Chains A and B, each alone.
Chain A
Amino acid sequence: MTPKDLALFVVRRLLLLATTLLGIVTIVFLMIKAIPGDEAQAAAGLTASPEQVEAVRRRLGLDDSVLQQYVGYLGRLLHGDLGNSIFTFRPVASDLSGLIPYTIELVVLAMLINVSVGVPAGMLAAARHRSRVDDSVRLLAIFCGALPTFWLAMIGQAVIGRQLGLTPISGVATIGLDVPRRTGFLTLDSLLAGNVVAFNDALAHLVLPAAVLSIPFMSFVIRVVRSSMITALEADHVTAARAKGASERTVLVRHGLRNAIAPVSTLLGLQIGWMMGGAVLVETVFNRPGFGSYLTQAVAHKDTFAVLGMVLVVGVIVTFVGLVVDLVQLVADPRVRLLEARRA
C-alpha cells in the first residue's frame, strides 16, 4: 500500500466518520424532541421561574420550525456548546472536560487488565483446544460474562476494601494528597509533580474499580481470542511452521495470535465504548467522580442536556476509537490492506 493509498483510506474513513457523527447528533436531537412536555422547562429546570423558561425558549429558538432548530443545534455543537446542566448550573461541556479524565484513567486501566488476562487465557484455551483446560476456560468466560458489574463492584468493595482492607473503599484519592492539576489525569499529574506517594495512592484507588469493570469484558475477549486463534491454528501454515521446527510458542504467537489481530482489535475497539457504559455503574458504586457518576446524577435529576451531551461525547469517542482500530488493522494485517486497496 502506497502512501497515496493510505491517504485515500484516511480520507474515506474521515468522510464515513463525519456521516456517523451526524447520525449520532441526529439521534440525540430526536431524543430531545421525543421528551414529552415543555422542552424549555426541561432545559431550564423544574424550579425555573416562567421568565427564565421564556429566556431559555428564546435562546434555544424553540418557537422556530424543527428544521431551523436542528440547524441551530448543529451550530451550537460546532461551538462546543452542549447546553447547560440544570443541576450544576454550568455548561455541560466544561463539566465533562473536568470529569472525563477520571473515567479515561479507569477505562484505560480496565482495558489493560482486560487484555493482559483475557488474551493469554484465550490463547491457552485455543492451544489446548478440546481439552479439559479449554472447557474450563470457556466456562469461566461464560461465568465472567454473567456477573452483574454493579453487584460485583459492591461485593468487591465490601470484601476486598472494607473487610480485608486491601484497597481504598471509594473515591479517587486520599484527602490531603493533592497534586497540582495539569492534565486532569490524577496518575499523570502526580507523576508530573514527582509525587510518588500520590501516584501510588491514585493507582490504589483505581485498581479495584478497574478490575471489577474489566471482568465482564474479559468474557468476550477470551471467547474471541479463543475462536479466532483456533481458526488460525487449524490453517496449513501452522503445520508448515511446525514442520520447519518452530517451537509451540513461536507457532502460537507468530502464526496464531498474529493472525487473530484483526478480529481481536475490532472487539477491543468496541469494548472501549461499552466500558464507558460500564463505568456508569462502577463509578456510582465506588463513588468516583467521572463521566459515569455525572451521568447517573443527571438521570436522577432529569438533567436532559447533561445526559444527551454525554451520549454525544461517548458516540464521538467511540467513533474515533473505531478509526484508530481501522488504522491498526491496516498496519498489522496485509489482508485488510488488500481489501482496502481493492475497494479504492
Chain B
Amino acid sequence: MKGHHVRLDLATAAPEAAPDAAPRPLLEIRGLTVSYPGPTGPVEIVSDLDLTVGRAERVAIVGESGSGKSVTARSLLRLDRRATVTGSLLLDGTDLLALGEKEMRSYRGRRIALMLQDPMTTLNPVLTVGSQVMEALRVHGVGKAEARRRAIAVLDRLGIPDAARRMRAYPHEFSGGMRQRVCLAMAIVAEPDLLIADEPTTALDVRVQEQVLTLIDSLVDELGMGVILITHDLGLVAGFAERVAVMYAGRRVETGAVDELYRSPRHPYTAGLLGSVARVDRDDPLRPIPGSPVMPTARPVGCAFHVRCAHAEADCGVERPEIRLVGHSDVACHHPLALREGA
C-alpha cells in the first residue's frame, strides 16, 4: 500500500497478520492529539500518538490514571464533543476524523465498538438487558425480530444461561460477571472490526476477570476483529496482547512485542510499572514507582517522567526525547535501559 508509509513502530506488527501482499492495518493512528478546553486555554491530554492495530490483533495500551489512555479510547470513536482531536485515524484506509457526524455515528458500534469499565453503570438500570443489546443493532437499522434473534445468539454464545428468557431481565437482576458479559454482548453484537475494551475487568474479581478476557480472546479468533485493551495493569496484558504501548502523561513512551517488553523493558517507566507488578518469572521484590503521575495540565519541561525517574540525567529535564528504535522496541528515552542479561 504505497499511500501509507509504514512507520518504524510497524516493524513489530502482528505476527498473525495475513501474509499475502503488504497487509493494510485495520487501524492506523497517526499523530493523534486530543485537547480539552481548560481554564487558561486548551490542554493537551494526548499528544502525537502513533499506533497500529492489525486484523485479529490484540494490542494493549497501558498507563496509570491520567496517562490519557481512556481519552484515547473515547477519541477513537469521537465520543466527546468538547474534545479537539487532530491527527489521523485510518480505519481500513478511511480517516475517521474526516467523517461527518452522521457517518461517524454509523461507524460507532458497527465498525468500532467500545466496552467500558464498570458493568454496574454501563447498563441503563431502567431498560431491559435485551433491549440494550438489541439497541446496538436497532440504531443501525436492523429490524426488531432480526435484532432480537442476534442478541439472543450473542448472549447465548457468551454463556448467559437461558438467554431468550433473560432478555427481559433488568441489569440489577444480574451478577457483576454476568453484567460484564452483557456489556461485551452489547459491544460485539453488531460484529465490529475493532473492539476497544477500556479497563473491562477492573471492576470484577480475579476469577471473573479471567473469564471475560478468555471470552474476548476467543472472539478475536472467531470474528477476526482487532482489540485494543486499555488497562493500568501490565500483569493483565501478559497473557492477552501481542503488542503493548505504554503511555505516560499523554505520550507513548514505549511500544513493543509483549514478551520483548516484559523480558527487557527499555524505558525506565515501563521497568517501573513491571516492578510494581507481581511476576511469576522473577522473584524481585515489588517496588512501586516513587511519586505520583503528572497531570496533563502540569507536564514538566523535557521528559515528562524525569521527575520520578531514577535514571534521569541533566538533559532529561531540558529536551523531550523523541521516539526511536531501541533493540526491537520503540522508546522515547534519552537513556534507555540496556538489554537485560538472559533476555
**A and B touching (Cβ–Cβ under 8 A):** yes
Where the two chains meet, the residues of A that have a C-beta atom closer than 8 Å to any C-beta of B are 235-237, 239-247, 250, 254-255, 258-259, 261, 332-335, 338
Chain B residue numbers with a CB within 8 Å of A334 are 125-126, 170, 172
B190 to chain A, nearest CB (A): 8
Q: B318 interface residue, CB < 8 Å from A? A: no
Chain A residue numbers with a CB within 8 Å of B116 are 236, 239-240, 243
Please state if B136 and A236 are interface contacts (CB–CB under 8 Å): no
Please state if A255 and B105 are interface contacts (CB–CB under 8 Å): no
Please state if B122 and A240 are interface contacts (CB–CB under 8 Å): yes
Question: Which of A239, A255, A332, A333 is B79 in contact with, Cβ under 8 Å?
Answer: A239
Q: B331 interface residue, CB < 8 Å from A? A: no
Please state if B123 and A237 are interface contacts (CB–CB under 8 Å): yes
A239-B79, A245-B140, A334-B170 known; A259 vs B125 contact (CB < 8 Å) = yes
Q: How far is the CA of A4 from the CA of B133 in the complex (A)?
A: 30
Chain A residue at smallest Cβ distance from B196? A243
Q: B247 interface residue, CB < 8 Å from A? A: no
Chain B residue numbers with a CB within 8 Å of A332 are 126
A236-B122, A254-B127 known; A242 vs B170 contact (CB < 8 Å) = no
Pick 27 A–B contacts, CB within 8 A, sort by A.
Answer: A235-B121, A237-B122, A239-B74, A240-B183, A240-B186, A241-B124, A242-B77, A243-B79, A243-B114, A243-B187, A244-B135, A244-B139, A244-B190, A245-B105, A245-B108, A250-B139, A254-B124, A254-B127, A255-B124, A258-B126, A258-B127, A259-B124, A259-B126, A332-B126, A334-B170, A334-B172, A335-B172
Chain A residue numbers with a CB within 8 Å of B114 are 239-240, 243
Chain B residue numbers with a CB within 8 Å of A333 are 126
Interface size of B as a range: 20 to 34
Please state if B79 and A245 are interface contacts (CB–CB under 8 Å): no
Chain A residue numbers with a CB within 8 Å of B108 are 242-245
Please state if A245 and B139 are interface contacts (CB–CB under 8 Å): yes
Where the two chains meet, the residues of B that have a C-beta atom closer than 8 Å to any C-beta of A are 74, 77, 79, 105-110, 113-114, 116-118, 121-127, 132, 135-136, 139-140, 170, 172, 183, 186-187, 190
A250-B139, A334-B170, A335-B172 known; A243 vs B124 contact (CB < 8 Å) = no
B70 to chain A, nearest CB (A): 10
Which label, helix, strand, loop or mixed, suits the secondary structure of the A interface?
helix
B299 to chain A, nearest CB (A): 26
Q: How far is the CA of A158 from the CA of B139 in the complex (A)?
A: 51
Question: Which of A236, A241, A261 is B135 in contact with, Cβ under 8 Å?
Answer: A241
Residue with the greatest number of chain B CB neighbours at <10 A, chosen from A242, A254, A333, A338: A242
Q: How far is the CA of A240 from the CA of B113 in the complex (A)?
A: 9
Please state if B126 and A247 are interface contacts (CB–CB under 8 Å): no
Q: How far is the CA of A237 from the CA of B110 in the complex (A)?
A: 17
A330 to chain B, nearest CB (A): 12
Q: How far is the CA of A304 from the CA of B126 in the complex (A)?
A: 48
